[in-house]
């Protein structure tokens, strides 16, 4: 056969491909999911990717997900994926197989033979408390949490904070000493109580972190607690010295409120390290408790002592050289005592009236 006798390409295939003829495609594979076994409400114990449906969960070795808890049945539940055409497409159906303990979905309990729809992101409870989460592979992942291990800089900061605590304790003990040798006698006991309290406080937060996150974070909590103690001690000293130097008694009388605020901040940092709750939620909770605590403290202070401040001005004598406020004359000082005398008389009269009311009620 010569070359010109071969059939042309147009004789074999049409010029335009028929749009109705499409290459055969295999059926789409079912969407996968991840089953997450959760312990103590937050800690992830195990994650199992699932790409074959249905998926069976139970204690028997033939299940796709094997759980060892004795309250789980041999074949406890079977999961089905709801494909296209179903009104709840993209969700999953749970078929309860166990006839003893059943399944809790939210506040509703399902027994053997019942079925219900399980949406990704919801929690399922099997047996006496085995909790399962379902996460679809199509769901977007949350942002990666930043993990910062305890560094050398944090260790140096902790050491500096502990040294400052010792120095501040020695300084406050020296200021309050009334006799020679009091510093040498009192300082060891003060340091022992302070460091022992720091250790107990840190161990408590470390146990809480182990319970909710699986990580103790002991040295992180030591750093938070020591820096917080230094900050509160420095703030108290700063307010007392400034109040004395500038003759502002309100700074000394309300120094405890500032200390409570700093303590709330320290607790917030501890909760951030010991739980998986968001920073905003923790801030709202701690801030609400702080407002309630300050309100209750001021109310009790006024009810018992008829004043909001809890520290007497210049309850601790400081060196006279630290005084920066201008001195007042004797006449001005005596004029200032008139208002103090009036306040004392009013308070004495109130206490006298209260005593008389108490006596009258006893006679009745």
So what's the pLDDT on residue 357?
65
Q: Which two tokens stand for residue 296?
A: 């209750």
Paired strand residues for 39 = 43
The domain 33-136 is placed in CATH, from the list 3.40.640.10, 3.20.20.370, 2.60.200.20, 3.40.50.300, at: 2.60.200.20
CA distance 97 to 57: 9
- SS3 assignment, position 133: strand
Residue 333 Cα distances to 210, 212, 229, 338, 339, angstroms: 60, 60, 38, 9, 11
> How many other CB atoms are there within 10 angstroms of residue 336's CB atom?
11
pLDDT digits (tens, 9 = 90+) for 136-155: 777 777 777 666 677 788 88
- pLDDT for residue 278: 84
**Residue 332 pLDDT:** 67
**What is the separation of C-alpha 15 from the centre of its chain, rounded to a whole number of angstroms?**
71
| Longest Cα–Cα distance in the chain | 140
Res 24: pLDDT: 43
Note the pLDDT of residue 291. Answer: 92
DSSP string, 160-197: HHHHHHHHHHHHHHHHH--STTHHHHHHHHHHHHHHHH
Q: What is the pLDDT of residue 88?
A: 58
pLDDT for residue 82: 80
Inter-residue contact 79 to 91 (CB < 8 Å): no
Question: In which residue ranges of the chain is CATH 2.60.200.20 found?
Answer: 33-136
The dihedral formed by the CA atoms of 213, 219, 225 and 227, expressed in degrees to the nearest 10: -130
Whole-number pLDDT of residue 96: 92
pLDDT of 283-303, one tens digit each?
999 999 999 988 888 888 777
Helices (H) and strands (E) in the chain, counts: 8, 11
Q: What stretches in the chain show pLDDT beneath 50?
A: 1-3, 6-14, 16-28, 364
pLDDT for the residue numbered 329: 67
- Tokens representing 97? 């197989």
For residue 47, what is the DSSP state?
A: E
C-alpha span between 80 and 52 (Å, rounded): 10
pLDDT for position 276: 79
Q: Which residues does residue 79 pair with via DSSP β-bridges, in sequence order?
A: 55, 94
Instruction: Give residue 317's pLDDT.
Output: 64
């Amino acid at each position: 056969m010569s070359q010109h006798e071969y059939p042309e390409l147009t004789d074999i295939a049409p010029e335009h491909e028929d749009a109705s003829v499409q290459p055969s495609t295999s059926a789409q594979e079912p969407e996968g999911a991840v089953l997450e076994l959760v312990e103590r409400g937050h800690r992830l114990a195990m994650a199992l990717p699932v790409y074959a449906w249905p998926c069976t969960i139970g204690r028997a070795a033939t299940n796709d997900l094997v759980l060892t808890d004795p309250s789980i049945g041999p074949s406890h539940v079977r999961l089905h994926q709801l494909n296209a055409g179903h009104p709840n497409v993209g969700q999953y159906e749970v078929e309860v197989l166990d006839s003893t303990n059943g399944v809790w979905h939210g506040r509703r309990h399902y027994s053997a033979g019942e079925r219900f729809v399980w949406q990704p992101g919801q929690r399922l409870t099997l047996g006496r408390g085995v909790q399962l989460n379902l996460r679809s592979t199509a769901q977007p992942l949350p942002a990666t949490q930043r993990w910062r291990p305890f560094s050398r800089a944090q260790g140096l900061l902790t050491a500096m904070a502990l040294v400052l605590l010792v120095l501040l304790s020695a300084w406050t003990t020296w200021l309050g000493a009334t006799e020679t040798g009091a510093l040498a006698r009192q300082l060891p006991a003060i340091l022992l109580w302070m460091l022992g309290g720091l250790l107990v406080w840190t161990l408590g937060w470390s146990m809480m972190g182990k319970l909710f996150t699986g990580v103790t974070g002991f040295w992180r909590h030591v750093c938070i607690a020591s820096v917080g103690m230094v900050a509160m001690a420095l703030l108290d000293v700063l307010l007392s010295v400034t109040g004395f130097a500038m003759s502002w008694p309100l700074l000394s009388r309300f120094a405890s409120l500032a200390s409570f605020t700093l303590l709330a901040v320290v607790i917030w940092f501890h909760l951030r390290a010991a739980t998986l709750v968001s920073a905003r939620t923790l801030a709202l909770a701690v801030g609400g408790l702080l407002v309630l605590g300050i309100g209750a403290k001021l109310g009790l202070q006024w009810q018992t002592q008829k004043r909001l401040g809890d520290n007497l001005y210049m309850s601790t004598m400081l060196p006279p050289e630290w005084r920066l406020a201008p001195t007042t004359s004797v006449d001005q000082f005596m004029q200032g005592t008139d208002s103090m005398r009036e306040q004392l008389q009013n308070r004495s009269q109130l206490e006298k009236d209260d005593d008389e009311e108490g006596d009258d009620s006893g006679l009745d």
